[in-house]
Structure 1
Amino acid sequence: MIQIFNEPPQGLQTAPHEPRIIAAGYQIAVREIDFGTVHDKDTLMLAFLKGLALRDTFGRNWDALYDVLTDPEQLNPRYALILCDYTHFKKRHPHLARELEQVLLDAQQNASEHNRSLWLLAEEPDHDPNGW
């Protein structure tokens, strides 16, 4: 099996088993975003505020999220976001998920253009081997 961190980030990917341990071996910083309690844009922004350990001054909008994710002062050059319970969130809130994915993928592209890496790893509590 190809190790996910041997390859450049490629969009939203299914998290490997034990992603935190694997990431540590590759010296990749990891932050978790818990989508289990997200039910609207406000709670989505709160999940990122908490997961990324941001200050309360975080703007809580798409532009502010993009700015944080593309700020080299804010994030390690090799960084993984573990999106916990993401598939269930995406099924419950497809419109919100589409907007979020655009921001995440744009930030990932920006990182790549600046010789940085941003992995976006969806992790599910009950692992589905068929992915999503």
Structure 2
Amino acid sequence: MMQVFDQAPEGIQKAPHDPRILAAGYQVSLREISFSDVHDKESLMLAVLRGLALTNSFGRNWDALYDVLTDAEVRPPRLGLLLCDFEHFRRRHPRLSGELERVMLDAQRDAAGHGRQLWLLAEELESDPKSW
């Protein structure tokens, strides 16, 4: 069976089952960004800051995000971003998610142009039993 890491990254893809275990097996460095609490650009940038373990010097704007995703000095050559609760975020904030996607896809193309790989993997959270 083909796995997402068998192929070059292409757009935002559905996260595989057990992405952390799979990424480890393929020597892909996986970072998780949770969109559960994102409601505006500031909370989005905070989620990115936490997910990528950035310092507070991170500029918290689209250019800064592009720069950190494409920085060969800092980012491993095989990087996966696990975008948790991404579909809900996309439905709640179509404009904000559109801007984010544009930056991530540009970074993905830049990485590919430099022989690097950046997977963008959308993972949906399971329904929270507490919310039943």
Unaligned runs of 5+ in 2: 128-132
Question: Which position in structure 2 is the counterpart of 1:77?
Answer: 77
For 1:75 and 1:40, how far apart are their aligned partners in 2? 26
Question: Which position in structure 2 is the counterpart of 1:63?
Answer: 63
- In the TM superposition, residue 73 of structure 1 has moved relative to its aligned partner by 1.2
Identity %: 62
Q: Which amino acid aligns with 1:18?
A: D
Q: TM-score, normalised by structure 2?
A: 0.94
For 1:61 and 1:33, how far apart are their aligned partners in 2? 16
TM superposition outliers: structure 1 runs of 4+ over 6 Å: none
Secondary structure of the equivalent of 1:103? helix
For 1:125 and 1:71, how far apart are their aligned partners in 2? 29
Question: Which position in structure 2 is the counterpart of 1:106?
Answer: 106
2:79 matches 1:42: no
Superposed CA RMSD: 0.9
Question: Which position in structure 1 is the counterpart of 2:54?
Answer: 54
For 1:97 and 1:70, how far apart are their aligned partners in 2? 19
Question: Which position in structure 2 is the counterpart of 1:30?
Answer: 30
Unaligned runs of 5+ in 1: 128-132
For 1:11 and 1:38, how far apart are their aligned partners in 2? 21
Aligned length: 127
What are the Cα deviations for residues 27-55 of structure 1, in whole angstroms up to 9, with x where unaligned? 00000000000000000000000000001
Q: Which amino acid aligns with 1:37?
A: D
Secondary structure of the equivalent of 2:30? strand
Question: Which position in structure 2 is the counterpart of 1:21?
Answer: 21
Q: TM-score, normalised by structure 1?
A: 0.94
Secondary structure of the equivalent of 2:47? helix
- In the TM superposition, residue 125 of structure 1 has moved relative to its aligned partner by 1.2
